[in-house]
Amino acid sequence: MLKRSIDICLALLGLTFFLPLLPLLGLLIKLDSRGPIFYLCDRVGKGGEVFKMYKLRTMYETLVDIGTSVSPAGDPRVTPVGRFLRRTKLNEFPQLFNILKGEMTFVGPRPESPDLAALYPEEAQKIFSVTPGLVGPNQILGRNEEEWYPPDADPQQYYIESILPHKLPLDLEYVEQSSTFKDLKYILLGVKETLFKAISWKFVLQKRSQIYLLLADAGLVILSFVLAHLLRFEGLPEGPYHRFFLQLLPLVVVIRLSCFLYFGLYKTLIRYLSTADIIAVCKAVSLGSFLLVGLSFFLDLRPFSRAVFLIDWLCLILFMSSLRLGLRFLWERRAKKPVNRNQRRVLIFGAGDAGVLAYQSLMAEKGKFDVVGFLDDDPAKRHKMLFGKRVLGDRFNLEAVAKLYRVHEILLAIPSAPPQEVARVVQACQRAGVQFRIFPTLKDTGTPSLFNPSSPERDLAFLLGQEEMGVDMPTIRRLVQGRRVLVAGASSAVGIELCRQLLRFAPQKLIIIDHDEAYLTELLIHLLEEASADQIVPLLCPSGGTEEKSEEIVSTYRPEIVFQLGLRKYPPLFDFQIEHLAWRNSLSTFHLARQAAQNGCQYFVLVSSLEAARRDHPLSASLRTVELSLRLFFAAQQTTLVTVRLCDVLESRGGIVALLEQQIIGRQRLLLPRREIKHPFLSKQGAVRFLLGSLALADTLPSEQAGIFVCTRSKALSLAEIAGRLATLYGLQLEEEIPVEYLPPLEGESSPGTPRSTGEEPPLGSTQNPGIGIMREEPPAEMQEVSRNIQPLFTRPVQDFFNVNWYDHTQHLLLREGTR
């Protein structure tokens, strides 16, 4: 009751300050864009009831909803006046009416939209047991949530995966430990954040040229008004005119600058000022003069000479037009240079010591290069000058700058940047379609191999230049959060990335299994940087006892989702013990599947390979056998089988691409297939998004529509193309500095790496995810016989398979049935 009384008193006090401003704010909103003054949005209140929350409208009015319910900085839906209202938090003041109605309180968790509230985990539902507030615990995270979003991130996905996990614990802590002292603390913190952080210094740095121009115009307004009095009265006015002059001067500045902002005089870059901007100056000055004349009548300034306004109007138009034309002239004069058509225009990325060294190296080649400027991701270096060349922006401006200056080549001078940052810059260069080079080369800087799977930050998606696959993250969060997940074969490149991504969804336990102790230890060290030790369970399964160990592991931890990445998917270089590898592929998976089904596993994700379509090799045959046998086995179980066929992954440990890199570093001769022969590739991040996307689809598809998921976003590249891109990263040129020999395809092989099959593969069906297709094939006629022969293997004791007779029997059975 006391809190409610305080809410009413504070709300009424706030309205006494807000209501006088409402007509002016409403007028600005209506003049800025068509639509209502107020915006009513659905929010979840106490007890989960949805109410209408009031705000001043800050976005353009549309017939249908566009975009997401979260709005990052730079959202194009926000109007110019809306940006001002959001910066000053004036758009939130109408929520005082919600407080008077009892739908909100002054202090409490901020109300959430229904679509995002539906994603709250079960333990966070306590938040809806209290009334939402105008200010709350999340004030300590910062004032402007819209500035937290990275420029290249999906806003809604970033909010769900990165911001929400930080906000929920603070809200829960407030709900469980609320007090009057805390309420007072958050109110004072909210007032402080609103008053003292209304100005963003990042915004000031980015817009400083426009701010300088606005300040110059303010000075011209004062100068023009003073000069008008000097010309009219042959000196400053005295007596009553002096009092009128002092009263009007502040109003003149405010009204004039408001008109300038309304006509957008500060939106055009100085180098693009034109006659349209001069016309806008005339309109803004004329409107301001008209308002000032009207104001003089309203204030009953009859003794005041209104000829001053006419003189002021003429002087101000002359001054402001001259200023803009002079700035345009100076810009063109500075930008004008003699053109050498033989010079290569180079843009240097990196405005540090390496960038300076790169510039000096280029200038040493007299007449060959024209450095147009620098780029750097450090905002403090924006617009700074190096050797007379300006820092033109960051990587998000790379494509625009490259087109504007007709750049031939981009030199990447960022040796201290982590590899993932280099990858993002390289991707930007590829999108811009501009040639790029590393300076100095990766080899010269001592950068370790790009293909070290133990380093989870290695991301080679930039070598492919493919679009990122979309994933239904809310579904994955619902499936993984608070559950036990097992990953077999966790130390592979895909396994490492999969473990890292799964931890972002907060599973109860992540059980990681591998047969190599060194790899498993290295993986654990990396994962402990992102999660607590009690959340991760590392288990070593020696290659000789994987089947025997699986029963103990699964029955102890009872995982609800199992990822089987432990299959050997590609033939070894030498067919040594190939039959044994195929045998172990099948048996290890059968036992893991049996234990998963018996211990209540909900999803079993089998990561197979496109090689399974081949029927001319024992290892490929074992993959086919596993797919078909598990399909029949799980048909009678409660566990859902999710079968995915993965293509080549760039970062695979010991893969062909890693071998290429080592040969390029040593400048060894490369033996490559012909350029027209291409292989489908994914990066490890793309592969993990494919696996998670397939799991999300399997959760929504009925069992009768199940099939094999295949990635349709894999990038078909020749090994020659990949080798060329790798060589570029090391500052080398293929064929010029690294000898290359192209091999003809094997006899009867149309394309190395292309799955070979004895018959036609069924066509891919479409799914809700455009990056994933589904292969639905009818079991062949001999499938029933295969099932009868294979299914008993799921029920045999583990010890039987180590018996020599049983080893020979199962080896013969699996190889014979897999190649049928």
State the pLDDT confidence band at 343, using cuts at 50, 70 and 90.
Answer: confident
The string over 568-581, giving b where at least 16 C-beta atoms fall within 10 Å of a residue's C-beta and e elsewhere, is bbbbeeeeeebeeb
Tokens of 153: 């991130």
- Beta strands 38-44 and 435-438 are unpaired
* Residue range 353-377: mean pLDDT, rounded: 85
Give me the residue label for tokens 């939402």: 132
Least confident of 98-107, 240-249, 718-727: 240-249
Give the confidence band of 778 by pLDDT, cuts at 50, 70, 90.
Answer: low
Question: What mean pLDDT comes out for the span 587-591?
Answer: 77
Q: Which of 353-362, 763-772, 809-818 has the lowest mean pLDDT?
A: 809-818
Cα 93 to Cα 219: distance, rounded to the nearest angstrom:
34
Whole-angstrom distance, CA of residue 666 vs CA of residue 643? 40
Q: Which residues contact 509 (CB under 8 A, 6 or more apart)?
A: 484, 485, 535, 536, 537, 557, 559
pLDDT at 380: 77
pLDDT reported for residue 631: 83
| pLDDT at residue 217, rounded to an integer | 93
Torsion of CA 293, 298, 301, 307, to 10 degrees: 10
User: From start to end of 49-177, where are the E strands?
Assistant: 50-56, 105-107, 133-135
**3-state SS of the chain: helix, strand, coil percent to 5?**
50, 15, 35
pLDDT: which is higher, 192 or 199 = 192
- Greatest mean pLDDT among 144-148, 242-246, 798-802, 809-813: 242-246
pLDDT of 479 reads: 92
User: Which of 235-239, 494-498, 745-749, 801-805 shows the lowest per-residue confidence on average (mean pLDDT)?
Assistant: 801-805
Q: What is the DSSP letter of 145?
A: G
Contacts of 447 by beta carbon, 8 Å cutoff, 6+ apart: 415, 419
Q: Is the pLDDT of residue 547 over 80?
A: no
Cα distances (angstroms) measured from residue 744 to each of 104, 170, 492, 753: 74, 63, 31, 14
Position 443 scores a pLDDT of: 41
Per-residue model confidence (pLDDT) at position 135: 85
* Per-range mean pLDDT, top range of 240-244, 666-670, 770-774: 770-774
Rg over CA atoms, the chain:
34
Confidence label for 704 from pLDDT (cuts 50, 70 and 90):
low
> Residue 244: pLDDT above 50?
yes
Cβ–Cβ under 8 Å, residues 740 and 675: no
Whether pLDDT at 783 is above 50:
no
Q: What is the C-alpha separation between 262 and 345, in angstroms, rounded?
A: 39
Confidence check: pLDDT of 602 > 70? yes
pLDDT for 817: 46
Q: Positive or negative CA dihedral for 143, 144, 147, 148?
A: positive
* CA–CA gap between residue 8 and residue 97 (Å, rounded): 10
Report in angstroms the alpha-carbon separations of 324 from 19, 224, 266, 316, 689.
39, 16, 11, 12, 52
pLDDT score recorded for residue 340: 58
Least confident of 69-83, 219-233, 255-269, 536-550: 536-550
* Whole-number pLDDT of residue 562: 93
Nearest to 430 by CA among 402, 394, 470, 449: 402
Place of tokens 């040593």: 666
pLDDT band at 141 (very low <50, low <70, confident <90, very high): low
- Confidence (pLDDT) at 615: 59
- Give the confidence band of 349 by pLDDT, cuts at 50, 70, 90: very high
What pLDDT, in 10s, does the model give residues 1-31?
Answer: 678 888 888 889 888 888 888 888 888 888 7
732 Cβ partners below 8 Å, 6+ apart?
441, 664, 667, 738
Distance separating alpha carbons of residues 74 and 343, to the nearest angstrom: 37
**303 with 247: CB under 8 angstroms?**
no
Please tell me which residue, 57 or 623, carries the higher pLDDT value: 57
Q: Is the peptide bond before 440 cis (omega within 30 degrees of 0)?
A: yes
Query: Picking from 170-184, 467-481, 542-556, which range would have the lowest pLDDT averaged per residue?
Result: 542-556
Task: Grade residue 442 by pLDDT with cuts at 50, 70 and 90.
Answer: very low
Tokens of 99: 């407080």
Strand order in the sheet with 435-438: 369-375, 344-349, 409-412, 435-438
Sign of the torsion formed by the C-alpha atoms of 711, 717, 718 and 723: negative
Residue 709 DSSP SS3? strand
pLDDT band at 762 (very low <50, low <70, confident <90, very high): low
- Tokens read off for 633: 């086995």
Residue 177 scores a pLDDT above 70: yes
Where helices occur in 636-752 by DSSP H, the ranges are: 656-665, 684-700, 719-729
Which tokens belong to 692? 């998670």
CA separation, residue 166 to residues 9, 137, 152, 352 (Å) = 32, 11, 20, 34
Q: Is the pLDDT of residue 172 over 90?
A: no
In eight-state DSSP terms, residue 744 is P
Mean pLDDT for the stretch of residues 116-128? 86
Q: Which residues contact 650 (CB under 8 A, 6 or more apart)?
A: 451, 460, 463, 464, 657, 681, 682, 683, 684, 722
Q: So what's the pLDDT on residue 561? A: 94
Does 393 or 418 have the greater pLDDT score?
Answer: 393
Confidence bin at 103 (pLDDT 50/70/90): very high
The pTM assigned to this predicted structure is 0.50
Residue 593 pLDDT class (50, 70, 90 cuts)? confident
The mean per-residue pLDDT over the stretch 210-217 comes to 87
- Identify the band that residue 67 occupies on the pLDDT scale cut at 50, 70 and 90: low
What are the φ/ψ torsions at residue 54 (nearest 5 degrees)? Answer: -90, 140
The answer to whether 248 touches 351, Cβ cutoff 8 Å, is no
The Cα–Cα gap between 78 and 607 comes to: 44
CA-to-CA distance for 426 and 743, rounded, in angstroms? 30
Separation of alpha carbons 338 and 403, rounded Å: 20
**What is the spatial distance between Cα 704 and Cα 697, in angstroms, rounded to a whole number?**
13
Query: Would you give the distance in Å from CA 423 to the centre of its chain?
Result: 14
* 645 DSSP assignment: E
797 or 675: whose pLDDT is higher? Answer: 675
The percentage of residues in the chain with a pLDDT greater than 90, rounded to a whole number, is 11
What is the residue-averaged pLDDT of the chain? 77
The DSSP result for 440-505, as a single string, is: S-TTTTTPPPTT-TT-TT---GGGTTPPPPP--HHHHHHHHTTSEEEEETTTSHHHHHHHHHHHTT
Pairing of the two strands 38-44 and 50-56: antiparallel
Q: Tokens 């990335």 sit at which residue? A: 497
Question: Which of 348-362, 409-423, 675-689 is predicted least confidently?
Answer: 409-423
**CA angle, residues 659, 664, 666, in degrees to nearest 5:** 100
Mean pLDDT of 725-731: 70
Q: Tokens 């993959």 appear where?
A: 623
Indicate whether 544 pLDDT > 50.
Answer: no
Of 624-628, 682-686, 750-754, give the range with the top mean pLDDT.
Answer: 682-686
User: Which residue would you say has higher pLDDT here, 384 or 105?
Assistant: 105
Averaged over 154-177, what is the pLDDT? 80
Res. 707 pLDDT band, cuts 50 70 90: confident
**pLDDT for 534:** 84
Query: Minimal CA–CA distance to 422: which of 391, 444, 450?
Result: 450
Q: Looking at residue 818, what is its pLDDT?
A: 46
Among 53-67, 342-356, 667-681, 742-756, the minimum mean pLDDT is found in 742-756
45-59, 64-78, 123-137, 305-319 — which one is most confidently predicted on average?
Answer: 45-59
pLDDT above 50 for 575: no
Determine the average pLDDT of the residues in 503-512. 90
Task: Say how far apart CA 59 and CA 146 lie, in whole Å.
Answer: 14
Residue 63 scores a pLDDT above 60:
no
**C-alpha torsion angle, residues 53, 58, 64, 65 (rounded to 10):** -70
The three-class DSSP label of residue 209 is helix
- Tell whether the model's pLDDT for residue 583 goes beyond 80: no
Domains delineated in the chain: 2-199 (no CATH), 207-335 (no CATH), 344-440 (3.40.50.720), 473-649+681-711+762-808 (3.40.50.720)
